[in-house]
Amino acid sequence: MAELAPGAEATIDLRVEAQNCTVRGEHRIFSTPELVLLLELTAIKALEPYLPRGRSSVGTRIDVAHSSPTLLGQTVRCTATVTEVDRRRVVFSITARDEIDTIATGTHERFIVDLDKFGARLADKAVAAQAAKQV
């Protein structure tokens, strides 16, 4: 397995469908929440080849400028490129384009987690949440 380093990247193409859109006036356009999801999925894809079994990642920060609309039926190409690796912290540069122009740029940060430890934390939180409901 190769070592994760700056320059690792992935790309995802998404054809914008009705479920990815919001309505503005008479137009269906790619929504910002759907854009953020695409950005995150692309960063996850970039990490996949570098994570051993039992490891995954969680998003901790995203800073994105959604600068241009994309219409229903257009295709968005998102690219996530690793710019920094600091132990378990990984920072990405993110770019998204449609057939006409750049629609978004930004950065995204993820932390690599051990799934067993993370699962134990979630189980503890589920118990605490259930206890809070009973108060």
The three-state secondary structure class of 59 is: strand
The whole-number pLDDT of residue 134 equals: 84
The whole-number pLDDT of residue 1 equals: 67
Residue 40 falls in the annotated catalytic set: yes
Residue 66 falls in the annotated catalytic set: yes
Residue 9 falls in the annotated catalytic set: no
Domain edges within the chain: 9-133
Among the listed residues 32, 60, 75, 102, the single catalytic one is 32
Superfamily of domain 9-133: Hotdog Thioesterase (3.10.129.10)
Reported as a single tens digit per residue, the pLDDT across 29-56 is 999 999 999 999 999 999 999 999 999 9
DSSP state of 132: H
Contacts of 74 (CB under 8 A, 6+ apart): 15, 16, 30, 98, 99, 100
- Stretches where the chain sits below pLDDT 50 are none
| Euclidean distance between CA atoms 69 and 55, whole angstroms | 36
The whole-number pLDDT of residue 2 equals: 78
